[in-house]
Amino acid sequence: MPQSDLTFLSVHQLALALASRRLSPVELTEAYLSRIQAQEPKLQAFVEVYADDARLAARGAEAAIRSGHAVGPLHGIPIALKDLIEIEGRIVTGGSEVWRHRKATRTATLVRRLLAQGMIVLGKTHTVEFAMGGWGTNSLRGTPWNPWDPQRKRTPGGSSSGSGVAVAAGLAPWAVGTDTGGSVRLPSSWCGITGLKTTIGRACRGHGAAVRRDAGSGPAGCPHPGTAVHRPDAAIETRRARPAAGPHAGRRARAGVGGGARGL
């Protein structure tokens, strides 16, 4: 399959291909890294790409899956993270020049849970400064290019601007953003993808730089039924003692998804 087709498959389709071994995590990760290399100079979705770490993680995932030790349906699936989400030892700017050299001293619970499911982090994506803005513009750190218009630079929506652009342009099959007043939903809408603001307390916000208490972390995925909620339980906080866990923490994230929108 051509890499350009591979990078636009839904997470669900990719998970099935990996589980059946029709596709390897190494092949999949290389496809996304190649597309990032080709498109990123124009689109500017990423603050930093973790190419070497992603390749290492992909080789580990491939060995585990081949030996029958897959940990779940997301094992070997690449993902991008908004540059508000902390990974120990990595720069986390929050979209601000003030934090240009700020290194995280811990890894966010959200990230630890995704990594425990075998997901492969491709890198960090651009955000509006401190996630305070809906247009997706950042005059100091850079504004990603909405990929729907290759001729004229148009705003991608914010504040999770890079995450929206990365998924829409096939640079990642799934990306994490944060949302208080629309910061996942706006870029998802403007970039033509599926986004989900999780109910407050469903996804742990612990160790996210400058994340407000009323913000929710959520995924953005390709426009395919069920993609954005295919496996959100991987990131859901289930123990109330954890940071920012709420009253919804014990419920399954997909409960009732197939029932339609009537009566909501």
| Gap between the Cα atoms of 93 and 73, Å rounded | 31
CATH 3.30.420.40 fits 3-247, yes or no: no
Rounded (5°) CA angle 109-94-151: 115
> Does the annotation count 34 as an active-site position?
no
Tokens of residue 218, six digits: 């959520």
> Does the annotation count 217 as an active-site position?
no
Instruction: Delimit the domains of the chain by residue range.
Output: 3-247
pLDDT > 50? residue 82: yes
Whole-structure pTM value: 0.82
Amino acid of residue 162: G
> Does the annotation count 82 as an active-site position?
yes
Q: Decide which of 256 and 118 is more confident.
A: 118
Average pLDDT value for residue range 66-93: 96
Which of 35-44, 107-116, 196-205, 239-248 bottoms out in mean pLDDT, i.e. has the lowest? 239-248
Checking 180-184 for CB contacts under 8 A at 24+ apart, the result is: 180/131, 180/212, 180/214, 180/215, 180/216, 181/134, 182/134, 183/128, 183/131, 183/134, 183/158, 183/159, 183/215, 184/160, 184/216, 184/218, 184/219, 184/220
Which of 10, 160, 161, 183 is flagged as catalytic?
A: 183
Note the pLDDT tens digit of each residue in 138-149.
999 999 999 999
Give 5's pLDDT tier (boundaries 50, 70, 90): confident
Which of 24, 96, 159, 217 is flagged as catalytic?
A: 159
pLDDT > 70? residue 171: yes
Which of 82, 161, 188, 197 is flagged as catalytic?
A: 82
Q: What are the beta bridge partners of residue 46?
A: 125
- Residue 202 parent element (H or E): none
